[in-house]
Structure 1
Amino acid sequence: MKLAEVGEFGLIRRIAEKIPAHRSVVLGIGDDAAGILPSAGCITLITSDMLLEGVHFDLSFSDPISLGRKSLAVNLSDLAAMGALPRQFLLSLGLPRSIEVEFIDRFMEGVLATARSYGAILVGGDTCASKSGLVISITALGEQRPERVLKRSAARVGDLVFVTGTLGDAAAGLELLQRGVREGRLVDRQLAPEPRVAAGAALADAGFVHAMIDVSDGLVSDLGHICELSGVGAKVEVELLPLSEEYRRVCGADPYPLALSGGEDYELLFTAAPGQEKNVLALMQRLGLQTSIIGEITDGKGVELFRPDGSPYSPAKSGFDHFG
Structure 2
Amino acid sequence: MSWRMPAETARHDRTWMAFPAEGQTLGETAAEREEGYATWTAVAHAVAEFEPVSMLVDPRELPRARRMLSGSIEIVEAPVDEFWMRDSGPTFVVDDERPGVLGAVDWIFNGWGAPDWAEWRLAGEHGSIVAGAVGAELVSSVLVNEGGGIHVDGEGTVLLTETVQLDPRRNPFADRARVEAEMLRTIGASKAVWLPRGLTRDYDDFGTNGHVDIVATIVSPGRLLLHDQQDPEHPDHAVTRDLRALLSAQTDAAGRRFEIIDLPAPATLRDEEGFVDWSYVNHLVTNDGVVACGFGEEKADAAARAILEDVYPGRRVVTVDARPLFARGGGIHCITQQQPSL
Normalising by structure 1, what TM-score?
0.29
> Rg larger in 1 or in 2?
1
Higher helix share: 1
Normalising by structure 2, what TM-score?
0.28
